Amino acid sequence: MSFDLNKINPRLLKSEPIQRCNFSNCKAACCVFGAWVDDFHKKEILSNSILISQHMRKGYEKPSSWFNELSEPDQHSLSGTVTHTTVLDNPDHYGGTACIFMREDHKCTLQVASEVNGDHPWRFKPFYCILHPLDLDEQGRITLDETKELVNEPASCVRKAEHKTPLIEIFSEELEYLLGKRINKKNG
């Protein structure tokens, strides 16, 4: 089954010599600056705080500490507004900071809580976290930033590979989840 190609940038139909990061090596470097969370998802997270707080780092179980006051309009979010997660100093993490939801084992509390509850791992995960390292272009289509910049960034979620692989295949899990349809890999 294919999906609406108008929702992805044509760049994702190309093949490039990249691969996903190795989580055990990167240790969630992408969590360095926290995340923007749609206000709809923020309410969902807070309404499930009892389940989620059980998996938080010690000392950060209180839902009132999970988000800061920084919010802004976002045309791609369900509610039209996003709020930022709290960012903590973390000298042991890439860049010296981390999202409050990053645990000591570098896993996302929101994902762990979803899995323990028997839900899809991304049930509570913010849209932009699921999307990463993908992005949205000016037209709101899912895309990937320039490969040269990504593979040279030490904290990038992609690495150089010996062989070209269709980008649509590399990111199929995210695309299927976000677009709600199976991807026809023959398109790549």
Residue 120 to residue 118: CA distance in whole angstroms: 7
The confidence score (pLDDT) of residue 181 equals 60
Tell me which of 30-39, 71-80, 177-186 is least confident: 177-186
Mean pLDDT of 141-166: 84
Domain positions in the chain are: 1-21+126-188, 25-119
CA 182 to chain centre: 19
Has residue 28 got a pLDDT over 80?
Answer: yes
Tens digits of residue pLDDT in 165-177: 999 999 999 999 9
The confidence score (pLDDT) of residue 188 equals 37
User: Do the strands 15-20 and 81-85 form a parallel or antiparallel pair, or are they unpaired?
Assistant: unpaired
Kindly list the distances between the CA atom of residue 139 and the CA atoms of 7, 8, 27, 100, 142, in Å, as whole numbers in the listed order.
9, 10, 32, 31, 9
- What does the DSSP 8-state code read for residue 27? -
Q: Which of 167, 169, 165 is nearest to 183 (CA)?
A: 169
Q: Say which residue, 111 or 187, is predicted with more confidence.
A: 111
Q: How many CB atoms lie within 10 A of CB 10?
A: 10
Predicted TM-score of the model (pTM): 0.86
Binning pLDDT at 50, 70 and 90, where does residue 51 land?
very high
Q: Which amino acid is at 181?
A: K
User: Do the strands 67-73 and 81-85 form a parallel or antiparallel pair, or are they unpaired?
Assistant: antiparallel
Tokens 């976000």 -> residue: 178
Has residue 34 got a pLDDT over 80?
Answer: yes
Q: Do 34 and 123 form a contact (C-beta atoms < 8 A)?
A: no
Has residue 3 got a pLDDT over 90?
Answer: no
- Average confidence score pLDDT of the chain: 88
